[in-house]
Amino acid sequence: MTGKPVTRTAADGTTEYGTEELLAALRDVLVGPLPEIGVRFSTLLSDFVPHTALVVFTRECTGRPRKVAGDPAIVDRVTIAELDRIRCDLSVDRTKRGSVRLAGRDRDAWAVLDRTDTLLVLLPRQGTWTASTPLALTSALFGLVATAIQLQVQSASPAYLAESRAASAERARTVAELTEAHAATLETLLATLRSRDLDDSRARTTARETATAALIGLRSSVDLHRELAEEAVTTAFARMHGELRGLVRHHDLKLDMVAPPVDGRGLPGEIAHAARALARGAVLALSAQAGVHRIRVAWNCDGTSLLVDIRDDGPGDLDALELERRLRDRVDALGGVIDTEATAGWGCRVSVRLPLDLPSPTAEGPALDALSALGSREVEVLGHLVAGRRNRAIAESLGVTEATVKFHVANVLKKLGVSSRGEAAALGSEAGVKAARADAEFFGSGTIREQAAATASS
């Protein structure tokens, strides 16, 4: 945040808003790691909308659909089912001030549903909200925050994909463990209540109905988590088709879309986001060539992977290696494989395979969540640390100074809670960060010798 107040009190006692300060503070909210955007937005609002807790709920973020700030006794206990219920209630009126069910009990709150289908819930600090509390301004600011979240998710940056994948793995494991424990307890209770050896049939019937309702509720909650975490492959493909139509609207070319089977597996959210982003990037590059009249985009699911195949009918003079370099970071973040080729007279082709299943964790604890606190540039630097490169080589690759690299490395070590580059590299590797490739145009012989010496010494 800028540290400058965004409001001031006028001579007549009313509140005025400094436009420049407000926009500068909002910019600070929109820039930074996505998981912390709730905290940054809460800090901005605290100046003129005092609150004890803030929750942002977006179905677009499959790994971390909740962005929270405030009282841990509230935000740590808010469930996705509660938020989804509020979201459904607001589908018509869009805003609500009153009692909502949150963190296990009814609470006074203000909620707004943005047109991006992103929900904001604020719990006012007791006795601080008045008729002049600027809720309309808050709603407008939230619209920009919600749009920024949507754009960052749709762009599917490598940092977002890696963080979302790690969060999805942890969330899926937690849901599975809780489901197994609660289902076993409820099924045991039902089996006992159904026994003919028990007396008092009325009490037994009541308890049986209660246990049955709890079991149904548990299964429904699991279904909701699965719905949030996955997207039907046909839905994901249709969304991509709509995006590509807008992308090539001004080009004189035809899109041939080959849809996947309708009975294919659901796609994890980060896979769907990445596949659409990869298709947009590839089609944009292919359509920029002279002599291209047709581009074919095909998806297929073989049960374990999403297969994306994109090809054109152009002259085949595109720099395929450069296109692959631009797309590879997203593919690597999800453990996928990409291959590009350009054949003179036959056109260009991009082939991507993205695994649908979460990788089996190789380490417990921080490795599963190692990337959640890192920004996109810090993830890039971590990739070079995994490759064993020194600051000079990293600086040349990224086109920055060694001082800037030292700054990023220090931040990476601090955020990962480690004391050495080697520990950071090991933790990054465990969390799925792949070694950044050495590009020949960036690395001179001296730098290569330094890398070789560094590798040998380690």
What's the domain count of the chain? 4
Q: Which of 240, 238, 258, 236 is nearest to 248 (CA)?
A: 240
pLDDT for 363 equals: 43
Per the domain annotation, does 176 fall within a domain?
yes
pLDDT of amino acid 156:
78
Q: How confident is the model at residue 452 (pLDDT cuts 50, 70, 90)?
A: very low
Same domain? 338 vs 390: no
Lowest model confidence (mean pLDDT) among 123-132, 146-155, 441-450: 441-450
Asked, for residue 403, whether it belongs to a domain, the answer is yes
**Tens digits of per-residue pLDDT, 68-88?**
999 999 998 998 888 988 998
Q: Are residues 189 and 204 in the same domain?
A: yes
pLDDT of residue 451: 40
Q: Write down which residue in 332, 355, 378 finishes a domain.
A: 355
Residue 311, pLDDT score = 94
What's the pLDDT at 249?
66
Look over the chain and give the mean of its residue pLDDT values, rounded to a whole number: 80
pLDDT score recorded for residue 135: 92
Between 151 and 456, the higher pLDDT residue: 151
Residue 286 lies in a domain: yes
Amino acid at 344: A
- Cα separation of 225 and 217, whole Å? 12
Residues 208 and 130 in one domain: no
Could you tell me if residue 119 is inside a domain?
yes
Is residue 37 domain-shared with residue 132, that is, in the same domain? yes
Residue 223 is assigned to a structural domain of this protein = yes
Give the pLDDT band of residue 66 (cuts 50, 70, 90): confident
Same domain for 127 and 222, yes or no, is: no
String of DSSP letters for 126-157:
TTT--TTS-HHHHHHHHHHHHHHHHHHHHHT-
pLDDT higher than 90, residue 122: yes
pLDDT tens per residue, range 206-241: 777 777 777 777 666 666 666 666 788 888 899 899
pLDDT of residue 310: 94
Residue 71 DSSP symbol = -
More confident residue, 230 or 109: 109
Q: Reduced to 3 DSSP states, what percent helix, strand and coil does the chain have, rounded to the nearest 5?
A: 50, 20, 30
Q: The CATH number of the domain where 268 resides is what?
A: 3.30.565.10
Instruction: Evaluate whether residue 302 is within a structural domain.
Output: yes
pLDDT digits (tens, 9 = 90+) for 254-292: 899 999 988 777 888 888 888 999 999 999 899 888 888
| Alpha helical stretches, state H, 388-441 | 391-398, 402-416, 421-430
pLDDT exceeds 70 at position 16: no
One domain for residues 72 and 111: yes
Q: Convert the pLDDT of each residue in 423-433 to its tens digit.
A: 888 888 777 67
One domain for residues 27 and 139: yes
**Residues 190, 288 share a domain:** no
Residue 268 is classified by DSSP as E
Max mean pLDDT range (20-24, 135-139, 151-155, 365-369) = 135-139
What is the dihedral sign for C-alpha 163, 273, 226, 359? Answer: negative
- What is the Cα–Cα distance from 458 to 455, expressed in whole angstroms? 5
Element containing residue 342 per DSSP (H, E): strand 337-343
Last residue of a domain, one of 101, 134, 155: 155
CB atoms within 10 A of CB 239: 15
Digit-coded pLDDT (tens) for 303-313 = 889 999 999 99
Quote the CA–CA distance of 333 and 298 in Å, as a whole number: 22
> In this structure, is residue 126 part of a structural domain?
yes
Domain boundary among 155, 188, 215: 155
pLDDT score of 448: 33
Same domain flag for 304 and 259: yes
Domain span including residue 56: 7-155
What pLDDT sits at residue 49? Answer: 93
Shared domain for 16 and 148, answered yes or no, is yes
Give just the sign of the alpha carbon dihedral 200, 203, 208, 211: negative
Q: Is residue 102 part of a domain?
A: yes
Inform me whether the pLDDT recorded for 368 exceeds 70. no
The pLDDT, as a whole number, for residue 457 is 40
Q: Which of 148, 290, 170 is nearest to 225 (CA)?
A: 170
3-class DSSP string for 179-196 = HHHHHHHHHHHHHHHCCC
Beta strand 95-102 pairing with 105-113: antiparallel
pLDDT of residue 174: 61
- What local confidence, expressed as pLDDT, does residue 309 receive? 95
Cβ atoms 62, 268 nearer than 8 A: yes
Q: Are 168 and 361 in contact (CB under 8 A)?
A: no
Query: Which CATH number is 134's domain given?
Result: 3.30.450.40
Q: 199 with 305: CB under 8 angstroms?
A: no
Residues 144 and 211 in one domain: no
Average pLDDT over residues 393-415: 88
297: its two tokens: 């985009």
- Tell me, what amino acid is at 445? S
Which whole number is the average pLDDT over 53-63?
86
Q: Are residues 174 and 147 in the same domain?
A: no
Contacts of 111 (CB under 8 A, 6+ apart): 86, 90, 95, 96, 97, 100, 119, 120, 121, 122
Nearest CA to 169 out of 306, 363, 333, 359 is that of 359
